[in-house]
Each structure stands twice: as C-alpha cells, then as structure tokens.
Amino acid sequence: MISFQKVLSFATLLLTCSVSWAVDFDHAHKDWDRVLKKHVLGSNVDYASLAKDTQLLDRYLTQLDAVPRAVVDAWTRDKQLAFWINAYNAFTLRVILDYYPIKTWTFKGLVVPWNSIIQIPGVWKKIKWEVAGQSLTLDHIEHGLIRPTFNEPRIHFAIVCASIGCPSLRAEAITFDKLEDQLEGQTRTYLSNTSKGVLLDYENGRVCVSKLFKWFNEDFDVEAPSGFQLKNQTKKERNALNFIARYLKDPRAWKFLQSPDTDFDYLSYDWSLNELPQNHDAAS
C-alpha cells in the first residue's frame, strides 16, 4: 500500500516541477514570439523567409515536447490554454514549411485552391506531432483537448488553419498573463472583417457570417447580451447571432440582427494559403 507520506511527497514534487516548468516555458515563448514578430506581416505569413530561418521555430517545437503532460495539466487554466493554442499554431506553421510551396497533391485540387493546406495529405487527422511527451494530431489538439477542456468559443479566432478565410495569425505569442486581451482582440478583429467575419448587408436585408459559426456552432451557444432577444431564428442562427451581438453593439446593428425580416447566410470561406504573394507556378 502506498503511504500518505509518499503520495504527499509525489504531489509536492509535481507541484515544484510544474512551477519550474511554467517559469522555463515563459522563456520558451520568447523563441515563438520572435518567430511571429519576424515572419507574420499583417494578415499574412512570409513562409518563404521562414523556410530559410527555422532554427527558433524548431527549437520551440522541441521545447513543446520537453515539458511532461502531467506538468502541463497542473498549470493554471490560462497557462494550459495558451500552451495548446501556441502548439497548434506552431505545428501548423511547421507542416506548411514541410510542404512549401504547396502543390496540388490530390483530387481536392479541383475544388479548393492549389496552394491550400487541404492539399497536404492527412494534415489534420494523420500527421502526428510530439508535444508534452505524446504524439498528437492537430485534430486531437483542437477537438480532443482545447474544445472539450476549456469551453472557450473565442479559441476559434486564435487557432489558425493557415488560410485566408481563417483568423489572422497573431504577431506575438499567446501568453497566460495577456490571454483575455488577446482572445478579445482576435475575436473583435475577425468579426469586424466583412469579407470573412460578419457582413451586415443592410441594402439586401441579410446578415452573412463566417462558416466557423456553422462548423463549430455548438461552441457558440452562449447567453445573449442583456436587451438582445431573438424570436424566429433557428438554434444555429441564435447561437451565432447571440455571440456576435456581444461585439456589435451599435443600436442599428442590433435592430437589424433581431429583425424577422433579416435573412441569415454564411460567407464563402477562402482556403487559399495565408502567404505573402509569391511567384509560384501553380502547375509545378
């Protein structure tokens, strides 16, 4: 039988290691932060220059795997969430570099852009990455860890799928001490973009929203802001509009969103790579 003293000693050791690793990982974020500040330009990523300058990125990926999972799980909520968001985005950059410039690999090239991340075989479900001592796919990080664990709809504006239609990659690391402001900033920036976030088409009487609200609709099932009430919309429409109303507080916008005469639709999603313009040959 394991004695209480041994259990207490193990718990103390784990706590000590967790604090130590948390401090060390704050320093690790500096590598990732430098990568982002140097190679994220506006809403695009300079993959061509990053492909020639991968030392910091690769070192950061090694650091992601060095910290034990039990230690990560012992961190505070915000520190854990920052860790997994950064991991997802860093691995996404690395897989793009592994196939860059992206070519048309499959028949998907007939329906999605030739330089899309979708062209990479198994990019989300099969390719595995070493993180926190485990081999995980991008899908597992997003759908197996982040979404069910943290119940945070704003993560959909912070994790980036390397496409023009997705939120822009933030030009700084996500950190626990700035997490709230960073999530809010990412959300506001994306929703204010009328080509991929939210379009209030007053002239034609319709509101068009990102397909993120279609694909992950259940994540946006939040309480409506005070004074905002929908009546005739479907459940999916209510989830999207209740969330959006938190960020569009103009009285005209609220009246428009609540009107039974306003049609609801989704914006087209651009799966083209979020790269700086390059002279690639699409047929290569």
CA distance 174 to 80: 11
Give Cβ neighbours of residue 36 (< 8 Å, ≥ 6 apart): 169, 170, 171, 172, 173
The tokens of 218 are what? Answer: 């259940």
Nearest 5°: phi and psi at 129?
-125, 145
The tokens of 106 are what? Answer: 């499959």
Is residue 228 within 8 A of residue 242, CB to CB? The reply is: yes
Residue ranges per structural domain of the chain:
24-191, 198-266
**What pLDDT is stored for residue 111 in this prediction?**
80
Nearest 5°: phi and psi at 59?
-65, -40
The residues of the chain scoring below 50 in pLDDT are 7, 10, 13-14, 16-19, 21, 23, 282-284
pLDDT (tens digit, 9 = 90+) per residue, 114-172? 899 999 999 999 999 999 999 999 999 999 999 999 999 999 999 999 999 999 999 99
Q: What is the pTM of this model?
A: 0.90
What is the SS3 assignment for 262? coil
